[in-house]
Amino acid sequence: MPNITFIQNNGLEQTVTAENDLSLMVAAVDNHIDGIPAICNGCCSCGTCLVDIDDDYLTITSTKYFGEQQVLDKLKNTNANSRLACQVIVSDKLDGMKVKISN
Ligand code: FES
């Protein structure tokens, strides 16, 4: 199981051990990470699980599908590294990844 570090807007870093094959959002919620309310519970509709993925891991994360991009397009504080944490599937390849919380 990979270790993933969540970074708050104030710079606070919290590293969690995430469970493979579940989403990054679930890893955050299960580990009580602030800033990811995940209001739609992973249905890819609320955008409250917005994160920025580390450059080094951007191409390793699961592919962004059309529905995720539609939600991202409606949000204001996005950039090229933005993903919805509920749409990123955890795997051992993500070990060491840093994720900035964007909400
Ligand atoms: S939890 Fe709602 S879009 Fe990810």
If one residue of 22, 23, 25, 36 were mutated to test the ligand 1 pocket, choosing by the most ligand atoms within 8 A of its CB, it would be: 25
The domain that holds 80 is classified in CATH as: 3.10.20.30
Please state the atom number of ligand 1 nearest to the C-alpha of residue 44: 3
Digitized pLDDT (tens) for each residue of the chain, 103 residues in all: 999 999 999 999 999 999 999 999 999 999 999 999 999 999 999 999 999 999 999 999 988 899 999 999 999 999 999 999 999 999 999 999 999 998 7
Radius of gyration of the chain (CA): 12
Predicted pLDDT at 31 = 97
* Domain encompassing residue 75: 3-101
The angle formed by the CA atoms of residues 79, 85 and 87, to the nearest 5 degrees, is: 100
| Contact call for residues 13 and 29 (beta carbons, < 8 A) | no
Q: How many domains does the chain have?
A: 1
Classify residue 57 as left (phi > 0), alpha (psi -120 to 50) or beta. Answer: alpha
How far apart CA 87 and CA 103 sit, in angstroms, is 16
CA 63 – ligand 1 centroid, Å:
16
